[in-house]
Amino acid sequence: MIASKIALAIVSTAIAICPVRAESGLASFYSGGRTASGEVTGPAGLTAAHRTLPFGTKVVVTNLRSGKTVVVRITDRGPYGRGRIIDVSRAAALELGMIDSGTTMVSIVRQQNADTPTSVGEAWLKAVQLLDPPR
Q: Are 24 and 114 in contact (CB under 8 A)?
A: no
Split at pLDDT 50, 70, 90, the class of 102 is: very high
CATH number belonging to domain 21-111? 2.40.40.10
Judge if pTM exceeds 0.75: no
The vertex-115 CA angle with 60 and 38, nearest 5°, equals 65
Query: For 58-63, what is the mean pLDDT?
Result: 97
Mean pLDDT of the chain: 82
d(CA 64, CA 51): 21
pLDDT of residue 110: 94
pLDDT of residue 17: 46
**Is the pLDDT assigned to residue 49 strictly greater than 60?**
yes
Domain with CATH 2.40.40.10 in the chain: 21-111
Beta-sheet pairing, 84-89 with 22-30: parallel
The CA-based diameter of the chain, rounded to the nearest angstrom, is 58
Which residues partner with 34 through β-bridges?
A: 40
The 3-state DSSP composition of the chain as helix, strand, coil percent (nearest 5) reads: 25, 35, 40
